[in-house]
Chains A and B, each alone.
Chain A
Amino acid sequence: MEKVKSLADLKKIRDEVQSRIRLRENSDRPEKLVQIKVAMATCGIASGAKETLNTFVEELELQAIDAVITQTGCMGYCYAEPTVEVTLPGKDPLVFGYVDKTKALEIIEKYIKKQELVDGIIPVTYKTIDE
């Protein structure tokens, strides 16, 4: 890989990268895509949410799975950080807890690709201690 040090270098490699980009069929219809929200508050970041988010971004890109990956705040499940909410097209969102790199790969392989449930789902009935 050639070194890019400046904006001018970046412009030089732009066309080369552009030619390899696959056009996404549903990029203008996010509801048709897998949506992933990684909780990135203090609790999440301290528990390794940055690596989790990076794993989703890189692995989904590598496997050419169209997805919208965003950050969100604390969902209140600090005990189970890093937490991730995954919404498959047409399905209700599911929140997974303790999502490290290995769990993230398992979620992609089993839940996102095959719609099989995996361990670590935080039940919707869960309430925080004050509720």
Chain B
Amino acid sequence: MKELSLHILDLVQNSIRANADRIEIQVTENIKLDQYCIEIIDNGCGMDEETLKKAIDPYFTSRTTRKVGLGLSLFKQNAELTGGSMSISSEPGKGTRVSAIFGHTHLDRPMMGDIAGTIILLAVSNPSISFRYRHQTDSGSYCFDTQEIKEALGEIPLSNSEIKHYLEDMILENLKSIHYSN
């Protein structure tokens, strides 16, 4: 994966397969601690202790179409390459939380990439799931909640191309304001 946003897109697929109807994506940048944290929290079916232990094994998957499950292991590897780490906590019936810390200024940290496009794509192709994306920096924070957006839009679907572009711009503008406000 070349971008962190692609990792997010990939890991959210696990939450979708776990039948989550509420998925939170939290990005926290802390320059002082040199940390770039990504958390994905869902209210899906969760995992028991045994499955949780095997979750980061690249040769374990709950799918039947193939024998490998690389999403979490690649994410963990990328975090560790930057001096960081990844952890997963989960409880059957309650949901799962995947957290990774990357070295913010580490040369090997992939760039975030097209996070606005990723969030909108997830929202458009999974209309029954609520997504909440929160991005925090030392200068402020921004929260994009698809439930609020749907309420504001009324009958207009998120898949409307005009709306999609407005929403992508909205996320980008707000991200700019929390990155360059100093």
State the A residues within 8 Å of B (CB): 1, 3-7, 9-11, 13-14, 17-18, 20-21, 38, 40-43, 45-46, 50, 53-54, 57-58, 61-62, 69-71, 73-76, 78, 128, 130
In the assembled complex, the Cα of A74 lies from the Cα of B155 at a distance in Å of 32
Check A14 against B152 for contact (C-beta < 8 Å).
Answer: yes
Nearest-neighbor residue (CB-CB) of A49 within chain B:
B9
Given the known A-B contacts A17-B156, A73-B65, are A7 and B161 also in contact in the complex, defined by CB atoms under 8 Å? no
Given the known A-B contacts A10-B166, A45-B6, A130-B67, are A71 and B125 also in contact in the complex, defined by CB atoms under 8 Å? yes
In the assembled complex, the Cα of A78 lies from the Cα of B71 at a distance in Å of 14
A-B contacts, CB under 8 A, total: 104
Contacts of A45 in B (CB 8 A): 1, 6, 9-10, 13
Check B1 against A21 for contact (C-beta < 8 Å).
Answer: no
Given the known A-B contacts A3-B169, A70-B125, A73-B65, are A21 and B160 also in contact in the complex, defined by CB atoms under 8 Å? yes
Nearest-neighbor residue (CB-CB) of B153 within chain A:
A14
Question: Does B4 interact with chain A (Cβ within 8 Å)?
Answer: no
Check B9 against A40 for contact (C-beta < 8 Å).
Answer: yes
Task: Tally chain B residues at the interface, Cβ within 8 Å.
Answer: 42
Contacts of B165 in A (CB 8 A): 1
Q: Give min CB distance, A64 to chain B, whole Å.
A: 11
Given the known A-B contacts A1-B165, A10-B170, A50-B121, are A18 and B6 also in contact in the complex, defined by CB atoms under 8 Å? no
Give the 3 A-B CB pairs with smallest separation, nearest first.
A76-B65, A42-B71, A61-B161
In the assembled complex, the Cα of A10 lies from the Cα of B164 at a distance in Å of 11
Check B125 against A4 for contact (C-beta < 8 Å).
Answer: no
Check A5 against B170 for contact (C-beta < 8 Å).
Answer: yes
In the assembled complex, the Cα of A1 lies from the Cα of B67 at a distance in Å of 47
Check B66 against A7 for contact (C-beta < 8 Å).
Answer: no
Check A53 against B166 for contact (C-beta < 8 Å).
Answer: no
In the assembled complex, the Cα of A1 lies from the Cα of B168 at a distance in Å of 13
Contacts of B154 in A (CB 8 A): 14, 18
Residue of A11, A62, A76 near B152 (CB, 8 A) is A11
Q: Give min CB distance, B74 to chain A, whole Å.
A: 7
Check B125 against A7 for contact (C-beta < 8 Å).
Answer: no
What is the 8 Å Cβ interface bit string for chain B, positions 132-165, against chain A (1 contact, 0 not)?
Answer: 0000000000000000110011111001111111
Check A4 against B63 for contact (C-beta < 8 Å).
Answer: no
**Other contacts beyond A70-B125, A76-B66: 11, CB < 8 A:** A1-B166, A4-B166, A7-B148, A10-B152, A10-B166, A40-B13, A46-B1, A53-B125, A71-B126, A128-B66, A130-B67
